[in-house]
Amino acid sequence: MTTAQPRIVGITLLAALAASQSALVVLNPLLPDVARDLDVSVATAGQLRTLSGLAAGVAALAVGLLATRFGLRELLLGAIATLAAGSILSAAATEFAVLAAAQMLAGLGIGISYSAAIAATAEWSTDADRSRVLALALLGPPLAWILGMPLVGVVGEVSWRLAWLVVPLAMAGVSIVLVSQRRRTPPARERAGLRSVLTYPGVARWSVGELLAFSGWAGALVYVGALLVESYDLSIAATGLALGFGALVYVPGNLLFRRWVDAHGRLLLIFLALSAAVTVALLGSLRSSLWVSVALFAALCFIAGGRTLAGSARGLGLAPELRLGVTGVRTAAIQSGYFVGAAVGGVALAVGGYSALGLAFAALFVGAAIPHLVPLR
């Protein structure tokens, strides 16, 4: 592999992950318009995200079964085409049931494409280049937020259907062009079924840590907007700017910690999880000014950027012959994290307000550090 190739591989997988994430985020600002146009409540329309997340989680857990039938390039191309088809069907839906089916179709593509893209960071790079390629690829999801959300807002003013045709399809098209440039690779020799993946030494412990970490992180993302609005009476536009700033800070967190991932991955997972626990607890309880809250949220995003990279690198190194199955488990943990984080946060908020919310998410992050306190044999 030449020195130019790791960057090309990283950009290719960045585009794939951005396409995968864009198919999720495009719905967020469009919910009221979708609900009004299809004559359902906003709460009902919100279940579309639940359906796509459920489909993505199931697909991610099953993706290892495809490892011996398809190479990573073909798997990625098929998955991205599937999420693009789901986006087109979403734009054309005139009934809520059709839109729900379209979102589940997109979810299948999301779960498979995310898992395959992460696995490809190891398969398409050398051991020496893996962390560099992984760090670049993981910029795809925040890039989908940074570039995609404003574009959804502009196009959505014209029509929510047009937003589905512009944002996910544009990113999917770029991704398909780039992935097509990669040479074809043979399917894996060993089938990565869920049972064989979870019984592999260290994978179950790692996956529990990923689930708890993503539950704390996703839960914070779900409720931080409400925290800012209710604490400081912010407008929707100002809240969006604050959250966008956090997404920007996520990027240097991802890049900075890359230099320590290979040599100190386990220690990073412990340190960053505990740092996130302290930060999110302060975010919930220390609301003395808007700038303090925004700074704490930005710090949490910075930490999450590094922790996501370290968790991905750790998983890729655990079971080299079952990588697609391992990354599928991680993708399922991400999707499940939204359910767990939202549920835990909702209970904590009802019981003790935002201070209890911060402590609940802190407990999840502390739990995420525990599986890594004892080194693997």
Residue 253 CA to chain centroid, in angstroms? 15
| CATH entry, 5-191, from 3.90.1150.10, 1.20.1290.10, 1.20.1250.20, 1.50.10.100 | 1.20.1250.20
Of residues 51, 120, 50, 26, the one with CA closest to residue 79: 120
Supply the CATH classification number for the domain 195-372: 1.20.1250.20
From residue 112, how far is each of 40, 58, 62, 107, 189 by CA, in Å? 30, 9, 9, 9, 19
CA distance linking residue 301 with residue 246, whole number of Å: 6
3-state SS, residue 375: coil
Task: Check residue 83 and give its pLDDT.
Answer: 92
Task: Check residue 361 and give its pLDDT.
Answer: 94
CA distance linking residue 322 with residue 115, whole number of Å: 12
Task: Check residue 2 and give its pLDDT.
Answer: 41
- Contact between residue 30 and residue 163 where contact means Cβ atoms under 8 Å apart: yes
3-state DSSP: the chain helix, strand, coil percent, rounded to 5? 85, 0, 15
- Contact between residue 312 and residue 300 where contact means Cβ atoms under 8 Å apart: no
Local mean pLDDT, 10-residue blocks, the chain (377 residues): 68 90 77 82 73 84 77 89 93 91 91 88 81 85 79 79 86 91 73 69 87 90 81 73 78 84 87 96 91 92 92 82 80 81 84 91 95 79
- Contact between residue 325 and residue 63 where contact means Cβ atoms under 8 Å apart: yes
Match 């959250």 to its residue by tokens. Answer: 243
- Contact between residue 66 and residue 327 where contact means Cβ atoms under 8 Å apart: no
- Contact between residue 334 and residue 207 where contact means Cβ atoms under 8 Å apart: no
Q: How many CB atoms lie within 10 A of CB 170?
A: 15
- Contact between residue 223 and residue 349 where contact means Cβ atoms under 8 Å apart: yes
Task: Check residue 295 and give its pLDDT.
Answer: 92
Q: Which two tokens stand for residue 375?
A: 């080194």
From residue 43, how far is each of 31, 34, 36, 39, 144 by CA, in Å? 9, 11, 12, 12, 25
Long-range contact set of residues 190-193: C-beta below 8 Å, sequence gap at least 24: 190/67, 190/68, 190/321, 190/322, 191/64, 191/65, 191/67, 191/68, 192/64, 192/65, 192/67, 192/322, 192/323, 192/324, 192/325, 192/326, 192/328, 193/64, 193/65, 193/325
Residue 306 CA to chain centroid, in angstroms? 14
Task: Tell me, yes or no, if the two domains 5-191 and 195-372 fold the same way.
Answer: yes
Whole-model pTM over 0.85 = no
- Contact between residue 152 and residue 26 where contact means Cβ atoms under 8 Å apart: yes
So where are the chain's domains?
A: 5-191, 195-372
CA distance linking residue 40 with residue 32, whole number of Å: 9
- Contact between residue 330 and residue 210 where contact means Cβ atoms under 8 Å apart: yes
